[in-house]
C-alpha cells in the first residue's frame, strides 16, 4: 500500500445523555438532516422573497405555504427514503423481517427513495392548494444540495459508505473489520476512496453553487424547469460517476461479481446506484429541453 490518510478520531455522536436505563444520543447524521432541511428552507424562502426572480414577478407560493410544505417534505424524506432502501436494496431481507421496515434508527435510507417520497409529497401538496407544479419543483430543487452536502459529510464522520480500495495518496484508512477486508496481505492496512467526500463535493457543493447561480444570477426561475432539470441531470451524472469509486452494497457482491453490479452482461454492467441514476439524468435532460422550447 502506498501513502494514505489515517481516518481522523471522530465520533458519530455529538453528545449523549443517560437517564436511568434510557440513553439519548445526538448523532452527526441526525444533525445533518436537521441542518440540511433548515438551510434548504431558508434558501427557498430567500428565493420566494425576491419576487423579481420569478416569471411575471409571481412566486409559486407564499413563505407561509412554504412552511406547510416543509412538513410534507419531511414525511416524504423519511417514508420514501426508508421504503426506497427496503425495496431497492434489501427486499428479500425485509420481506422475511417486516417488523424491521420502520426501524429507521437501525439505519438504511435511500436517496432515490427519499426523492420519490418528496416528489409524491410535493405533488399532493400542490394539487391540494392549487399551486403551480413546475415552479415548485424548481424551488425545491434549489433547496436540496445543502442537505446532500451535510449528509455526505456525516457519512464520512460515521465511517460508512466508503469507497473501493485505492492506492491513491488521498485514500483513507477507515476503521472497522468490513472496511479493512480488502484481501490484502496480513498486517497491511487497506486504504479506500473517501467517496462520501466526492459526493459531498459534486452533489452538494458544486451542484448547489450551480443552482444558486442559475436562480439568483441568471434568471433561471423565470423559465420553469431549468433549475429542476439541472438538479436532476446534475445529481444523476455526479452519482453515476462516483459509483465507479464507491463500494457496492454487500448484497450485490459475490465471488463471481466482485464489483457488485446489479445488472451485468459479459462482465460489464451497472451498480444499483447507477441504474437508479439513469432515469434522473433522462428526466433532467427532458425538463431542460422542454423549458428551452417553452422559452
Torsion from C-alpha of 241, 87, 30, 21, nearest 10 degrees: -140
Q: What pairing do the DSSP bridges indicate for beta strands 22-27 and 13-19?
A: antiparallel
Q: Is the pLDDT of residue 20 over 80?
A: no
Q: What pairing do the DSSP bridges indicate for beta strands 172-173 and 268-270?
A: unpaired
Note the pTM of the prediction, 2 decimals.
0.87
Give the pLDDT of residue 284.
97
* Band of residue 106 on the pLDDT scale cut at 50, 70, 90: low
Query: Averaging pLDDT over each range in 11-15, 17-21, 187-191, which range is the top one?
Result: 187-191
Take residue 163 and report the three cell numbers written for it. Answer: 469507497
Mean pLDDT in the chain?
89
Take residue 149 and report the three cell numbers written for it. Answer: 452536502
* Band of residue 140 on the pLDDT scale cut at 50, 70, 90: very high
pLDDT digits (tens, 9 = 90+) for 190-247: 999 999 999 999 999 999 999 999 999 999 999 999 999 999 999 999 999 999 999 9
Q: Is the pLDDT of residue 1 over 60?
A: no
The arithmetic mean of pLDDT across residues 138-153, rounded, is 95
The arithmetic mean of pLDDT across residues 144-167, rounded, is 93
Give the pLDDT of residue 255.
78
Cα separation, 175 vs 186, whole angstroms = 16
Cα separation, 139 vs 137, whole angstroms = 5
- The mean-pLDDT minimum among 100-104, 163-167, 170-174, 279-283 falls in 100-104
Give the pLDDT of residue 131.
96
Give the pLDDT of residue 95.
82
Give the pLDDT of residue 11.
83
Give yes or no for a contact between 242 and 199, defined as CB atoms under 8 angstroms apart.
yes
Q: Where are the beta strands (DSSP E) in the chain?
A: 5-6, 13-19, 22-27, 172-173, 263-265, 268-270
Percent of the chain with pLDDT over 90: 62
Give yes or no for a contact between 157 and 163, defined as CB atoms under 8 angstroms apart.
no
The arithmetic mean of pLDDT across residues 49-62, rounded, is 96
Q: What pairing do the DSSP bridges indicate for beta strands 13-19 and 5-6?
A: unpaired
More confident residue, 112 or 288: 288
Cα separation, 185 vs 189, whole angstroms = 8
- By CB neighbour count within 10 A (0-12 exposed, 13-18 middle, 19+ buried), where does 271 fall? buried
Q: Is the pLDDT of residue 104 over 70?
A: no
Helix (H) or strand (E) holding 84: helix 63-88
Count, residues in the chain = 295
Amino acid at each position: 500500500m502506498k501513502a494514505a490518510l489515517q481516518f481522523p478520531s471522530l465520533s458519530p455522536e455529538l453528545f449523549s445523555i443517560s437517564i436511568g436505563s434510557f440513553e439519548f444520543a445526538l448523532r452527526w447524521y441526525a444533525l445533518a438532516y436537521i441542518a440540511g432541511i433548515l438551510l434548504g428552507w431558508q434558501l427557498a424562502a430567500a428565493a420566494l422573497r425576491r419576487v423579481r426572480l420569478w416569471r411575471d414577478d409571481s412566486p409559486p407560493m407564499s413563505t407561509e405555504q412554504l412552511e406547510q410544505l416543509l412538513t410534507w417534505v419531511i414525511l416524504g424524506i423519511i417514508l420514501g427514503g426508508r421504503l426506497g432502501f427496503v425495496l431497492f436494496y434489501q427486499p428479500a431481507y425485509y420481506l422475511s423481517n417486516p417488523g424491521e421496515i420502520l426501524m429507521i434508527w437501525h439505519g438504511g435510507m435511500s436517496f432515490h427513495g427519499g426523492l420519490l417520497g418528496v416528489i409524491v409529497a410535493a405533488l399532493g401538496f400542490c394539487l391540494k392548494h392549487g399551486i403551480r407544479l413546475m415552479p415548485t419543483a424548481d424551488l425545491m430543487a434549489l433547496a436540496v444540495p445543502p442537505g446532500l452536502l451535510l449528509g455526505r459529510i456525516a457519512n464520512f464522520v460515521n465511517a460508512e459508505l466508503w469507497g473501493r480500495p485505492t492506492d491513491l495518496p488521498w485514500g483513507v484508512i477507515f476503521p472497522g473489520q468490513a472496511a479493512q477486508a480488502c484481501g490484502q496481505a496480513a498486517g497491511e492496512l487497506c486504504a479506500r476512496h473517501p467517496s462520501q467526500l466526492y459526493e459531498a463535493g459534486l452533489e452538494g457543493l458544486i451542484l448547489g453553487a450551480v443552482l444558486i447561480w442559475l436562480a439568483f444570477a441568471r434568471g433561471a426561475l423565470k423559465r420553469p424547469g431549468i433549475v429542476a432539470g439541472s438538479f436532476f441531470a446534475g445529481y444523476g451524472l455526479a452519482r453515476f460517476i462516483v459509483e465507479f469509486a464507491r463500494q457496492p452494497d454487500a448484497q450485490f457482491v459475490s465471488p463471481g461479481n466482485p464489483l457488485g453490479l446489479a445488472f451485468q452482461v459479459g462482465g460489464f454492467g451497472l451498480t444499483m446506484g447507477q441504474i437508479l441514476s439513469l432515469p434522473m439524468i433522462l428526466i433532467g435532460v427532458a425538463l431542460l429541453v422542454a423549458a428551452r422550447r417553452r422559452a
